[in-house]
Amino acid sequence: MSDPRLTPARPDLAAEHLAGTVAAARYARPEPMIVSAPVLDLTCRADRNAPLDTQLLAGEVFAVYEIDPETGLAWGQCETDGYVGYVSVAGIEAADGPADCVVTALATHIYPEPTFKSRPLEALPMGARFAARAEATGFLEVATGGYVTQQHVAPAGRFAKDPVAVAARYLGLPYLWGGRSAFGLDCSALVQLSYAACGIALPRDSDLQETACAQRHGPPERGDLVFWDGHVGLMEDRATLLHANAHHMAVAREPLAEAARRIAANGGGEITNICRPPDLHAQIA
């Protein structure tokens, strides 16, 4: 059975490429759109008050299959991880060339002028992408308007080397169910974003991440992922776990043994797997 999180299909509408395999009243071709909001909420229901399922970051591509002018919601699929759902049309715009820069700081401000003394217009989180128009002294001009400091960005395609070091930069940031940015994130987003910064693509949710990883034999090592039913963290060393969790309501560092005891005592069960992404080519020391 197709996973509804990753399958752009409803009884009344489905992606054109699913014709013949998924029954629907009609089929549509995708219209690629670019996320223009710094962070854009996605829900699996066509309801602005529905619980948050995930978030998209500026510069990500969202394939739109339907826009409802009454609700102001677009239904489609995120190109980054295949997640399907509804987003506000106010947060997307027509694709106009590739986003060639990526934010490498936890967050960076967009200024109306190329000076840090000007009042910021908004902020972009780590992993957000944008197209640059020109350089100013110490700044890059954003194609859609404003300036960001060059110290906080890098060319898209230039990756960090160690996902564990990236994850450690999120320490202390707030936990947010469905969150996927430095403004708030959940356990699987911490893993996904940390590995994405190193050029390693992982699914959005922890169960999908576990399926995508190969089981390890022997003690956990730096960079390994530790899974419970509905939870995931990554090992900083053989004994220490980094994870975004609702106990601390933050990204926290703690001994794996301590976390495992607490999770089991609170009804979260035992560790189900310790593994690492099969495409892990980062140089983890």
The fraction of the chain above a pLDDT of 70, given in percent, is 97
Per-residue DSSP letter, 127: T
Q: What confidence tier does 283 reach under pLDDT thresholds 50, 70, 90?
A: very low
Q: Using DSSP, state whether 169 is helix, strand or coil.
A: helix
C-beta of residue 147 within 8 angstroms of C-beta of residue 140: yes
Q: Which domains does the chain have, with CATH numbers?
A: 14-94 (2.30.30.40), 101-155 (2.30.30.40), 163-276 (3.90.1720.10)
For residue 136, pLDDT beyond 90: no
- According to DSSP, the residues that pair with 243 across neighbouring strands are 252
Per-residue DSSP letter, 62: E
Mean residue pLDDT across the chain: 94
d(C-alpha 58, C-alpha 38), whole Å: 5
- Supply the pTM of this predicted model: 0.95
Average pLDDT over residues 205-231: 92
91: Cα within 13 Å, side-chain hemisphere: 21
The fraction of the chain above a pLDDT of 90, given in percent, is 90
Please give the pLDDT value at position 1.
59
For residues 22, 27, 32 and 37, what is the CA-based torsion angle, rounded to 10 degrees?
A: -80
Q: Which strand (E) or helix (H) includes residue 2? A: none
How many residues are given for the chain? 285
Please give the pLDDT value at position 282.
44
Please give the pLDDT value at position 280.
59
Could you tell me which residues come within 8 angstroms of residue 161 by beta carbon, excluding any fewer than 6 positions away? 198, 282, 283
In terms of phi and psi (left: phi > 0; alpha: psi -120 to 50; beta: otherwise), the region of 145 is left
Please give the pLDDT value at position 278.
77
Average pLDDT over residues 113-122: 96
The CA-based angle 19-24-25, given to 5 degrees, is 115
For residue 134, pLDDT beyond 70: yes
d(C-alpha 23, C-alpha 39), whole Å: 33
- According to DSSP, the residues that pair with 129 across neighbouring strands are 102
For residue 279, pLDDT beyond 80: no
Q: How many CB atoms lie within 10 A of CB 193?
A: 22
d(C-alpha 33, C-alpha 31), whole Å: 6
For residue 170, pLDDT beyond 70: yes
d(C-alpha 256, C-alpha 192), whole Å: 20
The DSSP bridge pattern shows strands 14-15 and 27-28 to be parallel
d(C-alpha 185, C-alpha 193), whole Å: 10
For residue 261, pLDDT beyond 90: yes
* Residue 71: C-alpha distances to residues 11, 36, 222, 224 (Å): 19, 19, 46, 43
d(C-alpha 257, C-alpha 217), whole Å: 18
Average pLDDT over residues 34-52: 96
Please give the pLDDT value at position 218.
81
Please give the pLDDT value at position 24.
97
C-beta of residue 104 within 8 angstroms of C-beta of residue 157: no
